[in-house]
Structure 1
Amino acid sequence: MTSRELNPKFFEASRAGQAIQHYINTIHGSPFRLYVVTQIHKARTEDMGESGMKYILEFSVKDTVGQSSEGRCSAEVLFPKGETQRPPQVQFSCDGLPRLNTSDKEQAFYQKYSANTNPVTATYLPDSYGHIEPDMVPFWHLGWLAASFVMLNESNENTRYNMAQVAKIKQLKSEDDQLHFEYEVLLHDMVSQEIIRWKLLITWSPAKSIKVVESELLPRCHCN
């Protein structure tokens, strides 16, 4: 096993930081909580042989919705080797992960849209000017969280993805006490500079959080 220190500002460290950010959002995110890795303080790698390459990071994370104070965290990310794409394995711990009490907002959002007689539909969040109507912001966050599942699953040592835009939203009939939505999200592949389009069927409730039930990679597009 060999170990190597990394410059926290270089691509190798930031790529692993992005995978950690996606993972945290799949576990702790909500329409009113969205996390970003704000700074990587230390980073190193360990060559795990046939198992893959492990990245060990110390970093700060912040809830960008609540604008809460930053929490100091550490994580290990193992990118598996092999020809078949497998998601990285992430283990992390945080001292005081910034989480505001958003339960009232989540319950109000859930009650409003579970009883909604006019299902929500929307396109292009944000619009070409970067604007999102206030009542659409939680749906933008849901799209970002759903995209985090895809970005984490597709991540390896040669990728780096960012959320670009929610292209379409369609609210479906609620089932099993869950809100159901069909999303189309645009992801920015930072390596190839391509825009990748995914169709996602998601469910959400305050009790069970967000789940991606189905995902489909759509044909590549040259989207703005």
Structure 2
Amino acid sequence: DIFEKDSTVNCTAEVLYHLGNKNAAPDVQFTIEGELKNTDEADNLFYNRIKSLKNELVAENIPDSYGNVPPEMEPIRALAWAASGYVIWKNSNDNTKYQLAQIKHVKQVKRSDEYLEFDYMILLHENVSQEIIPWQMTVLWHPQHGIEVTQNSRQPKHV
């Protein structure tokens, strides 16, 4: 549990890859032993803070080159972590092992509804090849409705 540093929750997953169909996401079955911390209060605080900003949030290099994440950016990182999990799941095969390395850039997108929208440029570390892959993802989030990755695409290395 990334929010409770002293808490360990066991999760077991079975991941089945579709042979011959490189475009199909793997099937995942998982179980969690124990309970994760309820984040409703923190989610609502973050949501209200972002909704009350006069200008849209913009940030870069989370974490910085020393591994530091400003406390006010932890929720932005948590959203990226969850969203990148979806991207990783949809783009993995049995020869890859992706991990979120850094948020290179994030920009809030102004919306007229109750959702928050963020446009992320993330760096994924592919552990097998040791490649760093830029990836764009657009994320919608609302504390009562959860997270959705509305678009994502691998980017050229020079981004």
TM-score (norm 2): 0.92
* SS of residue matched to 2:17: strand
- SS for the counterpart of 2:110 is strand
**Aligned match of 1:133:** 70
Structure 1 match to 2:9: 71
| Letter matched to residue 86 of structure 1 | A
1:65, CA displacement in angstroms?
1.4
Higher strand share: 1
Residues 84 and 74 (structure 1), Cα distance of their counterparts in 2 relative to 1, 3 Å cut: closer
The alpha carbon displacement at 1:76 in A equals: 2.3
C-alpha displacement at 1:83, in angstroms?
4.4
In the TM superposition, structure 1's runs of 4+ consecutive aligned residues that sit over 4 Å from their partners are none
- Does the 8 A contact of 1:110 with 1:206 survive in 2? yes
For the 8 Å contact 1:166–1:186, the answer to whether it is kept is yes
Partner of 1:86: 24
Where does structure 1 lack aligned partners over 5 or more consecutive residues? 1-62
Considering only aligned residues, what root-mean-square deviation do their CA atoms show, in Å? 1.7
- Matching residue within 48, 55, 65 for 1:118: 55
- 2:41 matched to which residue of 1? 104
Who wins on radius of gyration, i.e. which is larger?
Answer: 1
Q: What letter corresponds to residue 72 of structure 2 in structure 1? A: D
Asked whether 1:204 is paired with 2:106, we answer no
5+ residue gaps, structure 2, are none
For the residues of structure 2 that align with 1:134 and 1:72, how far apart are their CA atoms?
26
Map Cα deviations across residues 200-222 of structure 1 (whole Å, 9 max, x no partner). 1111111111110111211024x
Secondary structure of 1:70's match? Answer: coil
C-alpha change, 1:216 and 1:70, in structure 2 (3 Å) is same
Whether the 8 Å contact between 2:9 and 2:36 is mirrored in structure 1 is: no
Contact kept? 1:198, 1:216, Cα under 8 Å:
yes
Matches within 5 A, 1:1-224: 63-67=1-5, 69-96=7-34, 98-221=35-158
Sequence identity (%): 38
Deviation of 1:176 after TM superposition, in Å, equals: 2.9
What SS is found at the alignment partner of 2:53?
coil
